[in-house]
Amino acid sequence: MKKTVLLVVLLTLVAFVSGAIAAAPPTAATTPVAPKLEKFTGDIKSVDAVAKSIVVVKGKESKTFIVDDKTKITKGKDALTFADLKAGMNVVIESKKDGDKLIAVTIKVSAPKAAPKAK
């Protein structure tokens, strides 16, 4: 009788332990990966306040970026707003793809380059 009770207790314990192991949280390999950010450097060609987008060109390449409420816009240590962006500004943009759109995550405005000194 004691052996039967001990066997039932052990089997119950094994069942609980194996159930806990099977219900363990997923490993890091199954968690979604953050989207890769792409960098693009160039000059602002145009700013569309209605669509909240900017067109940036570098040489012959041109890209349109959507600016949303989460976009962080800076110039040095100063924070800027979308309204501060103007055509001709040199920018470095980190963006992520959302379908066929490029969403700007960060926009870093560079200080204008000094004109070469005339001799």
52 CB contacts (<8 Å, ≥6 apart)?
66, 67, 68, 82
- Residue linked to tokens 């009770």: 5
**Cα(68)–Cα(78) distance, rounded to whole angstroms?**
19
CATH number of 38-109: 2.40.50.320
Residue bearing the bigger pLDDT, 46 or 24? 46
91 by Cβ neighbours in 10 Å (0-12 / 13-18 / 19+) ranks as buried
What's the pLDDT score for residue 2? Answer: 77
In the predicted structure, residue 21 carries a pLDDT above the cut 70:
no
Which amino acid type is present at position 37?
L
Q: What is the mean pLDDT of the chain?
A: 84
Q: What pTM was computed for the model? A: 0.66
What's the pLDDT score for residue 32? Answer: 65
In the predicted structure, residue 16 carries a pLDDT above the cut 80:
no
